[in-house]
């Protein structure tokens, strides 16, 4: 397996992990962030910050994919791709990340 193929597979794997991390944060489920900062659960701003951290991770990996010409868009719905392209995590992103007609369940666990 060539180095380029390994890089592509590696980054797409990391992208999938970042998507799951963001979706778990959206759904207020446990992430590794909870383990790093357990005291923050007591603070009201915790869930917003946790989502921001997950969103930033997702955007960082997308940026790397773009720089390496790796097509990241098939991992996401069209609507999610638009949100990522805009880069701003707004209330619309938080409220409408999962498409209304999407039959998929939210992240398990």
Alpha-carbon distance 75 to 1, whole Å? Answer: 22
Q: Which residue would you say has higher pLDDT here, 38 or 95?
A: 95
Over residues 30-63, the pLDDT tens digits come to: 888 878 777 777 777 788 888 999 999 999 999 9
Q: Which two tokens stand for residue 73?
A: 């868009």
Over residues 2-11, the pLDDT tens digits come to: 777 789 999 9
For residues 9-28, give the mean pLDDT.
95
DSSP 8-class letter at 43: S
Any residues with CB less than 8 A from the CB of 59 and at least 6 apart, and which?
A: 84, 87
Average pLDDT, the chain: 87
pTM: 0.81
- Per the CB < 8 A criterion, the answer to whether 84 and 56 are in contact is no
Q: Which two tokens stand for residue 89?
A: 């995590």
Does 102 score more than 60 pLDDT? Answer: no
């Amino acid at each position: 397996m060539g180095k380029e193929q390994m890089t592509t597979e590696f980054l797409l794997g990391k992208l999938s992990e970042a998507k799951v991390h963001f979706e778990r944060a959206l759904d207020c489920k446990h992430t590794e962030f909870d383990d790093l900062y357990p005291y923050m659960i007591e603070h009201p701003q915790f869930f917003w910050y946790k989502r921001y951290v997950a969103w930033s991770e997702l955007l960082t990996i997308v940026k790397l994919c773009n720089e390496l010409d790796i097509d990241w868009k098939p991992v996401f719905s069209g609507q999610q791709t638009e949100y990522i392209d805009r880069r701003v995590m707004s209330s619309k992103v938080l409220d409408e990340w999962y498409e209304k007609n999407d039959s998929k369940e939210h992240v398990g666990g």
